[in-house]
């Protein structure tokens, strides 16, 4: 009996230890009652106690430029008639930038997303959790901070000429947000110094729910081209006649975007076809736009490379169809030849038959005229 009690005690202690370990990952938190007393949060998973009616809990988070904060809270309610729960984000000037709220009968999950631009090195943002006068009994909060850096760097491309992000020719990706939607990173400015004279092609591919703007400026910051996509998802392209060493500014901005999370776009600066031999700049640049690498092949070869992977199925199908057509044509020709041969044989047989009949008739007609066999002369 004593042994049984001992084993049960050990099992109980193991259960408590496991339960405690599972909860170690989610730190218990309680926010401040105002922004002045907001409690700092780092990325992580947290649990909180009751938020009583008409009270709020405030936290704050520090974001580096080009970082996106995602706060996801599940608030539990014991009020069967429902309560209204709220999550909100405020910028460093304490202006509300995001607010999500919903009716909460048993529990509700609310998310706030925001991406900050590269205008300053760090930002302080405030997070608020709240409930109406019925309150919530507890909550779980997950805070995620995601880097949304531009052009393979560790920063956001600022929107100004002075702080434009230096880039080289190639394929890159970047992030922007809509105006007042999902963040303050509405534009990225890049500075490009061409290594050689020539026609560089700049291409920006936005996500399908975003209308993008592309603007090109010369070294004097004078706009030389501006393109706006015709529709959401429309790819925009600009050809830049550049001089070696003369800086070119390239701005990518969201012209129309309602997404609440950052839009990822592809950005290509295609080098001119210096080694191209047939002068087909467009084709070569398309190749460069696809791969981001300088092209060293002839434009014809490039075109074949470009087209071949895309049209393989079509060509194969067409070829097969053609082969089928050819086969069908061949079969038809053979059938025609066989038919003609049959006609010749039948015709020849009929002709032969007619000749035989005519000969027989002629022979029969000739018989009466045939000199009668003379009786042998009596001798
Ligand atoms: Ca950006
Ligand atoms: Ca930016």
Instruction: Identify whether residues 175 and 136 lie together within a single domain.
Output: no
Q: For the domain that residue 44 is a member of, what is the CATH number?
A: 2.60.120.380
Distance 226 CA to ligand 2 centre (A): 18
| 248 and 129 belong to one structural domain | no
Q: How far apart are CA 151 and CA 192, in angstroms?
A: 12
| pLDDT in the model for residue 124 | 98
Residue 95 CA to ligand 2 centre (angstroms) = 20
Instruction: Please report which ligand is nearest the Cα atom of 186.
Output: 2
Measured from the alpha carbon of residue 158, the closest ligand is 2
Q: Whats the size of the chain, residue-wise?
A: 379
**203 and 121 both lie in a single domain:** no
- Residue 298 belongs to a domain: no
CA 243–ligand 2 middle distance (angstroms): 26
From the CA of 89, how far away is ligand 1's center (Å)? 20
Q: Which residues contact 74 (CB under 8 A, 6 or more apart)?
A: 107, 108, 109, 139, 140
- How far is the centre of ligand 2, averaged over its atoms, from the C-alpha of 92 (Å)? 18
Instruction: Report whether 110 contacts 103 (CB < 8 A).
Output: no
Higher pLDDT, 103 or 265: 265
Residue 192 falls inside a structural domain: yes
Model confidence pLDDT, tens digit, residues 81-126:
788 999 999 999 999 999 999 998 899 999 999 999 999 999 999 9
CA of 174 to the centre of ligand 1 (A): 6
264 vs 245: CA distance, rounded Å: 30
Mean pLDDT of 145-164: 97
Question: What is the domain range of residue 271?
Answer: 165-293
Residues 170 and 79 in one domain: no
| Mean confidence (pLDDT) of the chain | 77
Q: Collapsing DSSP states into helix, strand and coil, what is residue 265?
A: strand
Q: What is the pLDDT of residues 19-61, one digit of tens each?
A: 444 445 789 999 999 999 999 999 999 999 999 877 799 999 9
Residue 344 falls within a domain, yes or no?
no
Is 266 inside any structural domain?
A: yes
What value does the mean pLDDT take over residues 289-314? 33
Give the Å distance between the CA of 2 and the centre of ligand 2. Answer: 70
Q: Which residue has the tokens 């996500």?
A: 207
pLDDT classification of 360: cutoffs 50, 70, 90: low
pLDDT at 374: 40
pTM as predicted: 0.67
pLDDT class of 332 with cuts at 50, 70, 90: very low
Residue 135 pLDDT grade (very low, low, confident, very high; cuts 50, 70, 90): confident
CA of 175 relative to ligand 2 center, distance in Å: 8
């Amino acid at each position: 009996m004593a042994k049984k009690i001992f084993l049960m005690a050990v099992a109980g202690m193991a259960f408590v230890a496991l339960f405690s370990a599972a909860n170690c990952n989610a730190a218990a938190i309680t926010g401040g009652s105002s922004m002045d007393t907001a409690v700092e949060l780092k990325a992580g998973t947290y649990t909180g106690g009751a938020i009583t009616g008409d009270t709020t809990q405030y936290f704050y988070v520090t974001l580096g430029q080009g970082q996106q904060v995602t706060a996801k809270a599940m608030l539990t309610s014991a009020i069967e008639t429902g309560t209204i729960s709220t999550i909100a984000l405020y910028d460093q000037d304490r202006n509300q930038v995001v607010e999500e709220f919903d009716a909460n009968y048993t529990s509700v999950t609310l998310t706030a997303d925001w991406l900050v631009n590269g205008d300053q090195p760090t930002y302080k943002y405030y997070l608020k959790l709240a409930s109406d006068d019925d309150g919530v009994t507890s909550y779980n909060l997950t805070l995620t901070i995601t880097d949304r850096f531009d052009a393979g760097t560790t920063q956001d491309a600022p929107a100004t000429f002075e702080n434009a992000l230096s880039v080289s020719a190639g394929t890159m990706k970047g992030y922007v947000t809509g105006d007042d939607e999902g963040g303050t990173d509405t534009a990225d400015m890049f500075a490009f110094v061409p290594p050689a004279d020539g026609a560089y092609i700049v291409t920006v591919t936005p996500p399908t729910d975003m209308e993008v703007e592309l603007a090109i400026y010369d070294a004097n910051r004078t706009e030389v081209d501006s393109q706006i996509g015709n529709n959401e998802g429309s790819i925009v392209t600009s050809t830049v006649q550049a001089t070696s060493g003369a800086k070119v500014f390239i701005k990518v901005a969201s012209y129309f975007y309602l997404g609440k999370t950052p839009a990822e776009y592809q950005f290509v600066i295609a080098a001119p076809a210096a080694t191209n031999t047939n002068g087909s700049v467009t084709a070569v640049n398309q190749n460069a736009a696809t791969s981001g690498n300088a092209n060293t092949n002839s434009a014809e070869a490039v075109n074949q490379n470009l087209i071949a992977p895309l049209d393989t199925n079509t060509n194969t199908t067409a070829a097969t169809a053609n082969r089928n057509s050819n086969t069908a044509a061949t079969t038809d020709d053979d059938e025609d030849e066989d038919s003609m041969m049959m006609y010749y044989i039948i015709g020849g047989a009929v002709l032969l038959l007619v000749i035989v009949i005519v000969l027989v008739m002629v022979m029969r007609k000739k018989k009466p005229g045939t000199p009668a066999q003379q009786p042998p002369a009596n001798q």
